Amino acid sequence: MEYMSVKETAARWGISERSVRNYCAAGRVRGAFLTGKTWNIPISAEKPKRKKRADSYPKSLLQILRREKESQMPGGIYHKLQIDMTYNSNHIEGSRMTHEQTRYIFETKTIGPAGQAIRVDDIVETVNHFRCIDMVIDHASLGLSERFIKVLHRTLKTGTTDASKDWFAVGEYKKFPNEVGGNPTAAPQEVEGEIKKLLHTYGASKAKDLDDILEFHVRFERIHPFQDGNGRVGRLLMLSECLRNHIVPFIITEELKLFYYRGLQEWDHEKGFLRDTCLTAQDYFKKVMEYFKIPYRSENQHSLRVF
């Protein structure tokens, strides 16, 4: 067999001598061998194909959120998700804090003088909600569990007035019956079993679409497992599942609140009320993704997926 030198091979392949040596050292040139410090390369050897350089840019919305969270990058989609979701989710539950005040707390971890009184609980729960979104971003890939649901609740309510009440049971299921929208919910002694059943049913199918996530959310809110904080925890769980299943997430704004409540109420009779409300919210988040150049695809009218 005839052999070429590194110099001859480099000229034939149109690459540098250093690249030829690297290919040989990596074992990518079949039949090449060393004599002392000199590479002997078969004349029939073919130039190795270049390996595609791994694209270090995150491929999914979840990866982008994790990268921006770790770098604490200001002005990105992580920054916007934190402020918009926290503001709107807290407002649905009665917080009087403005969007600007919410943004200020997130960016500076402080709150300055305001034109109106702000409840301490509003501030605490706002900061706690930021932490909850971070937890969702960190753990979304793992899926839902009883432990994660309880940890979200504990994180949300820690340091609040409610947390100082012995009967409130922060991070644990409710001790006293409650209702939502005038409708009865699961009795305290039934909650654990109902949550286990819900997680089992939801986890039975691996492929999830928007309706699956909404079905879970409706059932979770009807169980109403905690004394308070069920709505915010439930919406955080929807965010988690959207990110895990590469579905474009959505934020229920104050303008959509009444439509959202009607959708929860009427789900068994007409799924379109809640679905359409969430699709409207999803349209807003699509615009946010487009602004930040994050691609998504539409599989059908009810399924918008993140690449």
Q: Which residue has the higher pLDDT, 120 or 306?
A: 120
Mean pLDDT (whole number) for 2-30: 89
- pTM score, whole prediction: 0.73
The reply to whether 30 and 160 lie within a common domain is no
Identify whether residues 202 and 235 lie together within a single domain: yes
297 alpha-carbon distance from chain centroid = 17
Question: Residue 53 falls within a domain, yes or no?
Answer: no
Residues 105 and 7 in one domain: no
In a domain, residue 119? The reply is yes
Write the CATH number for 119. 1.10.3290.10
Band of residue 52 on the pLDDT scale cut at 50, 70, 90: low
When the pLDDT of each residue in the chain is averaged and rounded to a whole number, the result is 89
Looking at the domain assignment, is residue 219 inside a domain?
A: yes
Binding-site residues sit at 228-235, 260-261
Mean pLDDT, range 74-80, rounded to an integer: 90
Both 86 and 195 in a single domain? yes
Query: Which of 15-24, 53-62, 290-299 is the least confident region?
Result: 53-62
**Residue 66 shares a structural domain with residue 33:** no
Are 12 and 80 in the same domain? Answer: no
Mean pLDDT of 231-260: 96
DSSP string, 73-110: -TTSHHHHHHHHHHHHHHHHTT----HHHHHHHHHHS-
Ordered DSSP codes for 259-292: HHHHHHHHTTT-THHHHHHHHHHHHHHHHHHHHT
304 pLDDT higher than 60: no
The total number of structural domains in the chain stands at 2
pLDDT higher than 80, residue 248: yes
Amino acid at 203: G
On whether both 114 and 195 belong to a single domain, the answer is yes
Structure tokens of 185?
Answer: 């919910």
In a domain, 234, yes or no: yes
119-146 pLDDT, tens digit per residue, is 778 899 999 999 999 999 999 999 999 9
pLDDT in tens, 217-233: 999 999 999 999 999 99
Q: What is the pLDDT of residue 300?
A: 53
Residue 76 sits in which domain range?
61-306
Same domain, 35 and 85: no
- Examine residue 49 and state whether it is found in any structural domain, yes or no: no
Same domain, 85 and 37: no
Q: Is the pLDDT of residue 278 over 50?
A: yes
The answer, yes or no, to whether residue 283 has pLDDT greater than 50, is yes
pLDDT at 70 over 50: yes
Q: Which residue has better confidence, 115 or 28?
A: 28
Which parts are annotated binding residues for ATP?
228-235, 260-261
Residues 33 and 149 in one domain: no
Domain assignment present for 50: no
pLDDT-derived band of residue 301, with 50, 70 and 90 as boundaries?
very low
Query: Tokens standing for 84?
Result: 């918009």
Q: pLDDT above 90 covers what percent of the chain?
A: 64
Q: Is 69 helix (H, G, I), strand (E, B) or coil?
A: helix
Active site residues: 224
Look at residue 53 and tell me whether its pLDDT is greater than 60: no
In-domain check, residue 244: yes
Lowest average pLDDT, out of 130-134, 160-164, 224-228, 250-254, goes to 160-164
The upper half-sphere exposure of residue 101, i.e. CA atoms within 13 Å in the direction of its Cβ, equals 20
Instruction: Report the pLDDT value the prediction gives residue 115, as an integer from 0 to 100.
Output: 54
pLDDT over 80 (residue 50) = no
Q: Is the pLDDT of residue 184 over 70?
A: yes
Task: Tell me which residue of 110, 142, 130 sits closest to 240, measured CA to CA.
Answer: 142
Give domain status of residue 228, yes or no. yes
Residues 16, 119, single domain; the answer is no
Stretch (H or E) spanning 34: strand 33-35
Indicate if 68 and 171 belong to the same structural domain: yes
Confidence of residue 178 (pLDDT cuts 50, 70, 90): very high
